[in-house]
Amino acid sequence: MTRTIPEDDRIALNALADGELDTATASTLVARLAADADLQQAYDTIVATRDALGGLELPVVPLEFLARIENLATPSPADSPLLRPRHYRWEGWRNIAASVLVTALIASSATYLFTSPRGPSLEQMVASAHRRSLLAANPVDVLSSDRHTVKPWLDQHLGVSPPAPDLAAAGYPLLGGRVEVLGQQALPTLVYRHNEHTISVVAQPGSTTTAAPRSLASGGYNMVEWSIAGFDFTAASDLEPAELATFVAAYLKAAG
C-alpha cells in the first residue's frame, strides 16, 4: 500500500518532470525522491503519463481545410504561392518561404493529391523550385549531411521520404533536405552539392514503375528524370548534362 502524495508535492513533481522548476527546488526534490519510494513511484507515474500523452499525434491539417483558411486572407482564386506571378517583390520572399514551409508542415502523410497540372509542367515547377531555393538564404530546411537526420525529418514532416544516401565519397555531399510544394503536393526534396553547384532532387511518391534516367532541360536548368522504389525523381542543377547524369548514376547506385 502506498501512501497518498500531498497535492503540493504532486504539483512539484509534475513541474520537475517538465523541467519547470528552478535548480535549487529541483535538486531538493530529487534528493527527496531518492529517499522516498512512494514519492518516486508517483514521479514515475507522472513521467509515464506525460510520455504517453506526448505520444498522441497532432491532427493532420487537411489541404482542403488549409486552402479554406488561406482563402480567408486572400479571397481571390490565385491562392497557391506557386501560381502567383514570378516577379515577386523582395519583401514577399519571406512570406512565400513561410507559406511554403507551412503548407509542407501540415500536409503530412497521405494527403498527396495527384492533380494533373494544367499550369506549368512538373519540370517547369521543379526548375522554379530549384531557382527559388538558390535565391533563398538557405537551400535547405533541414541542414545536415547526415542522412539519418534528413530522412527522419522528411518522414516527420511529410510521412514519406526517399532514399537519402550521402554521396560525399563520390563527390556529392548531402547538404540537407527541404519540402517543395508543387501544385497541390508537398514533395520531399534532397539537396546535394558538387563543387560549387547545388543539385535538387525532388521525389514524387506514388510511382509504380521503374524508368531509366532521361535527360532534359527546363527553365534554364539541366534535369534528369527517373523512377524507382515508389518515387518519380527529378534532379535539377546548373551542372552540365553529362555531370548531372554522373550524379544520378551515383545516386542510383547508392540508393540500391
Residues that bind other proteins (CB under 8 A): 1-4, 7, 10-11, 13-15, 18, 20, 41, 44-62, 65-66, 68-70, 72-74, 94-95, 98-99, 101-102, 105-106
Query: Rounded to 10 degrees, what is the CA torsion of 16, 20, 22, 26?
Result: 0
Sheet-wide strand order for 142-143 = 142-143, 174-182, 185-194, 197-205, 231-237, 221-228, 211-218
Beta carbon nearer to other proteins, 14 or 145: 14
> Rg for the chain (alpha carbons), in Å?
24
Q: Which residue has the cell 520572399?
A: 93
Beta carbon nearer to other proteins, 103 or 198: 103
Return d(Cα 178, Cα 188) in angstroms, integer.
6
The CA-atom distances, in angstroms, between 196 and each of 38, 91, 134 are 61, 27, 12
Beta carbon nearer to other proteins, 99 or 246: 99
Instruction: Report the nearest approach of other proteins to the CB of residue 62 (Å).
Output: 8
Instruction: Report the nearest approach of other proteins to the CB of residue 2 (Å).
Output: 5
Beta carbon nearer to other proteins, 91 or 196: 91
Instruction: Report the nearest approach of other proteins to the CB of residue 231 (Å).
Output: 26
Beta carbon nearer to other proteins, 8 or 196: 8
Beta carbon nearer to other proteins, 15 or 254: 15
Instruction: Report the nearest approach of other proteins to the CB of residue 236 (Å).
Output: 27
Return d(Cα 188, Cα 97) in angstroms, integer.
15
Q: How far is CA 172 from the centre of its chain?
A: 21
Instruction: Report the nearest approach of other proteins to the CB of residue 216 (Å).
Output: 34
**DSSP structure class, residue 168:** G
Instruction: Report the nearest approach of other proteins to the CB of residue 41 (Å).
Output: 7
